[in-house]
A and B are shown apart, each in its own frame.
Chain A
Amino acid sequence: MSLNKCLEIFLKYWPSFLLGIKTTLFVSLIGTIIGLLIGLLVGGLRAINVDDNSSKLKKFLKKIFNLISTLYIEIFRGTPMMVQAVFIYYLVYTNIIPWDKVVAAIFVISINTGAYMSEIVRSGIQAVDVGQKEASRALGVSNIDTMLHVILPQAIKNAFPAIGNEFIVNIKDSSVLMIISITELMFQSNSIAGTTYRFSETYFVTACIYLLMTSIASFILHKIEKSLSHTTTSLPQSDTNFSSISLAKEENS
């Protein structure tokens, strides 16, 4: 293997690589976002505790939901995404509708990521101190509003590293989607290698491109993570004189 050859292949075939990069980034980004939405919905509902004084119907629905969501999570975490991709693609293609491959790819990544995200979101919610919920409820804020305004923002912040990690995993693991021959990076690389018969050189270029994409992604995610945490701009300090406490002074002076 020579680096010169690698460069040669890259310079000659860069439009094909570029198309691969575009498709890979597209399906993994959209898939991660939809997966996160699935995770918020499923994980959020899983984290809700039905209390003793809830109605029987609510308890029943919650039980059914828990059962279905557990099945979903176990099945999609417990089987390879490659198998999911071919199975779902051909199942839908032959039995329901001849759908677009990219749509199928996004569907598979989304539903697969959703399974992982559900658990990430659920644990993120459960890690938020119960006092936050109590304080909000004591102010008269409803359960749903408490979830949306107090719990979820903190849960997402806590879980952000894990959520971002799913994106990086998806950039790499979308390579298995070549099995349904969408034009993502791995599929493109296979074509190039097949044309040039330079396997090690081509896949070396491919590996470099993957590494570059994941590095840039993790750099950006790190920046976002930093902006989410409210870093201390000044040290906490306490007032030692109480002159600033003006409460009720006018009325009682």
Chain B
Amino acid sequence: MLEIKNLKKKYDNDYVLKDISFKVEKGDIISIIGPSGCGKTTLLRCLNFLNDSDQGQLIFDEETYDMANINKKEINEIRKKTGFVFQNYNLFLNKTALQNVTEGLIIARKMAKEEAIKIGEEMLNKVGLLDRKDYYPSQLSGGQQQRIAIARALALNPEIIYFDEPTSALDPELIGEVLEVIRQLALEKRTMIIVSHEMHFVKNISTKVIFMEDGLIVEEGGPEDIFDNPKEKRTKEFLESYRR
């Protein structure tokens, strides 16, 4: 359903994404791992056009887009089909949990308020925070905020959800609750792309793992292939550093 061809992105004169191509099928849960600064987050942000790209093709549901020369209308088309969960949640600080979840429905989708609230409450219930619906982000823990951010993305019923290091900003004891929500989404057969440093989680949840380094995909395959029998030397070294 989603395919990326020859994506390139540079900051000044340094290529942070050198030539990235991969495919996502419906129901895939693709994890992107790799050392810090290898371009994982940039890749995810390019997919949603939060960063612009210098070259590349994006094929979404048989529709082909030129990533370097895309107009606002096309960007909005793609964003309607995608959800994005940020590393530091980025909940709207001036809105309650429920308002955060309904914002996209009411303002972007022009949905009637009652209907949006119904969906919003349903989503908050899904992530187990319905009783916190009138709380502001500042009154919630990081884990709760991230779960609401996931509910916010889910509310628009996207075809694919991008997770940009969803647990990196969390205290260790709060990581579990967020991973649990993502695990439940996996059971629902949601299509997801996850950038994460939680290797154990990645191994358990993914249908496919991509190992990136220096703006290139070094190796990709099923979680067992990558974690138990990595072919590339660099993949081995990287995973070793996590076992220690």
Binding site for B on A (CB under 8 A): 51-53, 129, 131-132, 134-142, 145, 149-150, 153-154, 157, 230, 232-234, 236-240, 242, 244-249, 251-252
Contact = CB atoms under 8 A, between A and B. Distances in A.
17 contacts: A131-B90, A135-B86, A138-B79, A140-B79, A145-B107, A145-B108, A154-B93, A232-B138, A237-B141, A239-B177, A242-B128, A242-B176, A242-B180, A245-B128, A246-B125, A248-B185, A251-B188
Given A238-B141, A238-B143, A245-B128, A134 B90 contact: yes
Nearest to A52: B52
Nearest to B83: A138
A197 B70 CA distance: 76
Nearest to A247: B184
Interface in B122-153: 125-129, 136, 138-141, 143-144, 149, 152-153
Interface of B: 48, 50, 52, 69, 71, 76, 79-80, 82-84, 86, 88, 90-95, 103-104, 107-109, 125-129, 136, 138-141, 143-144, 149, 152-153, 156, 173-174, 176-177, 180-181, 184-185, 187-188
B188 A248 contact: yes
B127 A149 contact: no
A217 B84 CA distance: 44
A149 B93 CA distance: 11
B234 to A, nearest CB: 31
Interface of A (DSSP majority class): loop
Given A132-B93, A140-B108, A140-B109, A233 B184 contact: no
A142 B108 contact: yes
Contacts of B176: 242
B24 to A, nearest CB: 18
A132 B86 CA distance: 10
Contacts of A139: 79, 103-104, 108, 152-153, 156
Contacts, number: 121
B137 to A, nearest CB: 9
B92 A247 contact: no
B42 to A, nearest CB: 14
A247 B185 contact: yes
Contacts of A53: 52, 69, 71
Contacts of A247: 126-128, 181, 184-185, 187-188
A132 B90 contact: yes
A53 B76 CA distance: 15
A245 B90 contact: no
Contacts of B180: 242, 245
Given A234-B139, A238-B177, 12 more contacts: A131-B90, A134-B90, A136-B92, A138-B82, A138-B83, A139-B153, A140-B80, A141-B103, A230-B138, A236-B144, A251-B188, A252-B188
B76 A157 contact: no
B139 A137 contact: no
Given A135-B90, A153-B94, A248-B188, A232 B52 contact: no
A142 B140 CA distance: 27
Nearest to A138: B84
A71 B91 CA distance: 37
Contacts of B83: 138
Contacts of A246: 125-126, 128
Which of A129, A138, A233 has the largest count of B CB atoms less than 10 A from its CB? A138
